[in-house]
Amino acid sequence: MPAFLNVATVHIADGLSSRSISSEFMFSASRSSGAGGQNVNKVNTKAELRFSIDSSAILTPQEKQTLLLALASKLNAEGEIVVVSQETRSQLKNKEIAEEKLILLLAKALTPKKKRVATKPSKASKRKRLDSKKQHSTKKEQRKKPLL
């Protein structure tokens, strides 16, 4: 798991992994694009993972609804999420990377958003803002030509 994720997202991702959601993934392999070497025209190393939220038996109805709303722009015409990985020359590693990408995507979408708590600016911050405005004002005032 990447270090930049918050604790809740990591916890949800672990929960999805433990529910064995990977049994509902559909994999396909094809040739990777881009510059290649000796195997580029012969070996199918690009992994394409498809996951249908609607037909998932592991997700709860509320999770399905949340995912469908949060990931609406990432769904194809069949209502599937498609994740592609062609980072390595190994099909197995690309499958693992694609699976991890999808689980993180689902976990981020299922992580509840924190409500923003409105706060008032402190006296010190107000004073600092007004002082900087006054300083800026005097700087501009000094640029003016003197009146005769």
Check the CA dihedral 21-75-9-85 and report its sign. positive
Tokens 């064995």 belong to residue: 20
Higher pLDDT, 38 or 123: 123
Spatial neighbors of 100 by CB under 8 A, at least 6 apart, are: none
Tell whether the model's pLDDT for residue 15 goes beyond 80: no
Residue pair 17/55 in contact by the 8 Å Cβ criterion: no
For residue 32, what are its two tokens? 């990777």
pLDDT of 127 above 90: yes
Averaged pLDDT of the chain: 83
Burial class (CB within 10 angstroms; exposed 0-12, middle 13-18, buried 19+) of 142: exposed
pLDDT tens by residue, 40-70: 666 777 888 898 888 888 888 898 888 888 8
Question: Confidence band (pLDDT; 50, 70, 90) for 38?
Answer: low
All structural domains of the chain:
7-110 (3.30.160.20)
pLDDT of residue 36: 61
Q: For residue 58, what pLDDT is reported? A: 84
